[in-house]
Amino acid sequence: MPSGIRLQRIADRVRQELSELLIREINDPRLHQIFVTDVTIDRELAYADVYVSAIEGAGRSAEILAGLESASGFLRRTLSSRVEVRAFPRLRFHWDPTPENADHIEKVLAGLREKK
C-alpha cells in the first residue's frame, strides 16, 4: 500500500492533469466553466473521488456530473497515460458545494459588518 504522502502526490497530479484536460481537450458544452476542487484516492488505488464545482453554482450540477460520467472512459484512459501508476483508479465524480457555501458565508459576514 502506498504511503499517505504518495497518495496525496498522485491525487494532486490527477487534479492538475484533469483540470488541463477539461480546459484544453474536452469539447462537451456541459463541461464548460467547471473546475476541479479536490481529488482523493483510496488506499488501494481503486477509486479516485473527483470533486467539481462550476462558476454558475449548483444549478447545473446534474448536467455537469452526467457529462463527466459520459466522458469518464476517455478521461481515465488519457489520465492513465499521463500519471504513472501501475493500475489507474476508476473515477467517481461528486459535486462540491464548498465554493457556494463560502460565498454565502462571505455575504453574511459582509452584512454583519455593514450593520456595525
pLDDT in tens, 49-92: 999 999 888 888 999 999 999 999 999 999 999 998 989 999 99
Above 80 in pLDDT, residue 1? no
Given a contact cutoff of 8 angstroms between Cβ atoms, the answer to whether 36 and 50 are in contact is: yes
Residues 6+ apart with CB under 8 A from 27: none
* Higher-confidence position of 31 and 99: 31
Residues 6+ apart with CB under 8 A from 89: 41, 42, 45, 46, 47, 48
Largest interatomic CA distance in the chain: 58
Grid cell for residue 81:
497515460
Distance CA 10, CA 70 (A): 23
Above 90 in pLDDT, residue 114? no
